[in-house]
Amino acid sequence: MSIQQVILMVPAILFAVSVHEFSHGMMAYRLGDPTAKYQGRLTLNPLAHLDPLGALMLVLFRFGWAKPVMVNPLYFKDRRRGMMMVGLAGPLANVISAWVFRILLRILPSLFSLRIGLVLHQFILLNIAINLGLAAFNLIPIPPLDGSKIVAGLLPARYETRFQRLETYGPVVLLVLLFTGLASRLMSPIVSFLGRLISIFPRF
């Protein structure tokens, strides 16, 4: 990885994690939970959301995490549905961001022939890759990732308690997946699917 790529990745990562966590907090807030607001997380300021290790993982492997937004499901009218919507909000925001950057690729082609345009082109591609990678990683259904909250909300209520027991082992399983490279294999089909999805979104 070149120095230029690293320099371009930093603002792309800061944007992706800020959008992701802001969306979690905003969804929870809209559903009645003021916790994120009280903790100053309803902002796109990356300093409010940055997790140094998660950001480093994004730089090195293009998947990682931010500082989790605290959520109190007791504020929700429907706790299971509320947690599922909060969990979905972050990855969805990243997919939408990737879609917007993909549109920029289509409307700014005349600039890409210039030297600064080549840098801009690379920056846009990095934003697409990072947003899709962050969304895909968080959609893996292993606690504490967002995918586990989505799955928990979709499961019949009688299985919820059993699934919640996995939270005890989730972080350990996640570390094993990261260090063995299995996380990348799990993410690959998700990234491919999301990439195809944004390619068929309306392009204006």
Catalytic annotation, residues: 21
Q: What's the Rg (C-alpha) of the chain?
A: 17
State the Cα–Cα distance between residues 97 and 21, nearest whole angstrom.
Answer: 13
| Contact between residue 41 and residue 48 where contact means Cβ atoms under 8 Å apart | yes
Distances (CA, A) of 70 to 9, 45, 67, 129, 182: 27, 17, 9, 27, 28
Which has the closest alpha carbon to 191: 63, 4, 12? Answer: 63
- Look at the block and give the residue holding tokens 């947690």: 83
Helix axes 115-139, 3-30, angle to 10 degrees: 50
Q: How far apart are CA 115 and CA 177, in angstroms?
A: 40
Q: Name every residue whose Cβ is closer than 8 Å to that of residue 113 and which is 6 or more positions away in sequence.
A: none
